C-alpha cells in the first residue's frame, strides 16, 4: 500500500512539473497561423489585382517581437511586360509567388481592446511563372500561326510591413522592393518587376 502511495505521489509530481514547464513556455511564446487576402499594386506592367497569403508566426512575448515565414500569391492575365516591338498576344497567364521571412516589433498593445500593432521588415525570394500564346507571320505569303512559350524565374526582394491586430482579425499594409528580372521570348524582350504595395485583411489563429 505504501509503495502504491509513493508511486502515485511521484507520478503526480512529474505531471505537475511537466504541466508547469508547458505553462512557462506558453507564457513566453505564442504560435499562430494566419491567412489573408487583399489589394496588390505592383509595377505598372504587372497591373493591379488581388493577392493572397499565409503566415506561420512565432511571437516572443517578453521580447515584444515575432518571427514569421510567409508565402504570397498573385495571379493575373492582363499584364503588359514586353517592350517594343511587342508580340500579338492572344492569351497569357502570370503567377508570382513571393516566399519570405520577417521580423516585427510590437509597437503597442491595448489589452482592454484586444489590439496590438507591429512594424517589421523582411526579405526572401520571389518565383514567377509565365505562359503566353501569341501570333506570328512568316514566309512570302505571310502565313499566320500560333506560338506558345512558358517562362519562369525569380530574384531576391525585401519587404516592409505593419500589422494591426484586433482580436483575431488584422489589417496589414506591406511594401515590396524587388530586383527586376529580364527575359526574352524569340525577339521580344520582357521585364518582371513585382515591386509595389499591398494591403490585406486576414484572420490570425
Q: What is the pLDDT of residue 4?
A: 39
Distance in angstroms (rounded) separating the CA atoms of residues 50 and 72: 11
Q: Does 20 map to a domain?
A: no
- pLDDT of amino acid 19: 43
**Any bridge partners for residue 119, and if so which?**
105, 162
| Percentage of residues of the chain with pLDDT beyond 90 | 76
pLDDT score recorded for residue 142: 62
What is the domain extent for residue 146?
28-204
- Distance from C-alpha of 68 to C-alpha of 174, rounded to nearest angstrom: 14
Total structural domains within the chain? 1
Q: Is residue 18 part of a domain?
A: no
Looking at residue 28, its pLDDT comes to 85
Query: Residue 177: inside a domain, yes or no?
Result: yes
Neighbouring-strand partners of residue 52: 37, 73
Exposure string of 90-127, with b = 16+ CB inside 10 Å and e = fewer, is: eebebebbbebebebebeeeeeeeeebbbebebebebe
Does 15 reside within a domain?
no
**Is 69 in contact with 101 (CB distance < 8 Å)?**
yes
What's 128's domain CATH number? 2.40.160.20
CB 160 within 8 A of CB 174: yes
**Under 8 Å between Cβ of 162 and 198:** no
Decide if 159 contacts 184 (C-beta within 8 A). Answer: no
Q: Does residue 105 fall inside a structural domain?
A: yes
- Whole-structure pTM value: 0.83
In a domain, 37, yes or no: yes
Q: Which residues of the chain have pLDDT under 50?
A: 1-25
State the Cα–Cα distance between residues 143 and 105, nearest whole angstrom. Answer: 61
Asked whether residue 16 is assigned to any structural domain, the reply reads: no
What is the number of residues in the chain? 205
Beta bridge partners of 14: none
CA within 13 Å, CB half, 51: 28
Assess if residue 36 is contained within a domain.
yes
In 3D space, the residue among 179, 197, 181 whose CA is nearest the CA of residue 72 turns out to be: 197
Residue 181 has, within 13 A of its CA and on its CB side, a CA count of 19
On whether the CB atoms of residues 50 and 73 are closer than 8 A, the answer is no
φ, ψ (nearest 5 deg) of residue 113: -100, 5
Amino acid at each position: 500500500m505504501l509503495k502504491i502511495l509513493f508511486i502515485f505521489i511521484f507520478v503526480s509530481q512529474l505531471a505537475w512539473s511537466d504541466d508547469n514547464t508547458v505553462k512557462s513556455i506558453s507564457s513566453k511564446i505564442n504560435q499562430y497561423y494566419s491567412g489573408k487576402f487583399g489589394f496588390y499594386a505592383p509595377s505598372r506592367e504587372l497591373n493591379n489585382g488581388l493577392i493572397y497569403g499565409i503566415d506561420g508566426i512565432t511571437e516572443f512575448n517578453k521580447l515584444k517581437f515575432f518571427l514569421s515565414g510567409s508565402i504570397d500569391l498573385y495571379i493575373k492575365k492582363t499584364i503588359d511586360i514586353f517592350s517594343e516591338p511587342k508580340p500579338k498576344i492572344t492569351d497569357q497567364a502570370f503567377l508570382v509567388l513571393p516566399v519570405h521571412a520577417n521580423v516585427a516589433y510590437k509597437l503597442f498593445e491595448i489589452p482592454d481592446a484586444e489590439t496590438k500593432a507591429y512594424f517589421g521588415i523582411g526579405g526572401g525570394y520571389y518565383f514567377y511563372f509565365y505562359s503566353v500564346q501569341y501570333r506570328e507571320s512568316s514566309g512570302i505569303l505571310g502565313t499566320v500561326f500560333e506560338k506558345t512559350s512558358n517562362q519562369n524565374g525569380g530574384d531576391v526582394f525585401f519587404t516592409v510591413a505593419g500589422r494591426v491586430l484586433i482580436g483575431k482579425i488584422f489589417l496589414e499594409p506591406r511594401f515590396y522592393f524587388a530586383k527586376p528580372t529580364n527575359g526574352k521570348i524569340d525577339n521580344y524582350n520582357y521585364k518582371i518587376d513585382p515591386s509595389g504595395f499591398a494591403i490585406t485583411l486576414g484572420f490570425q489563429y
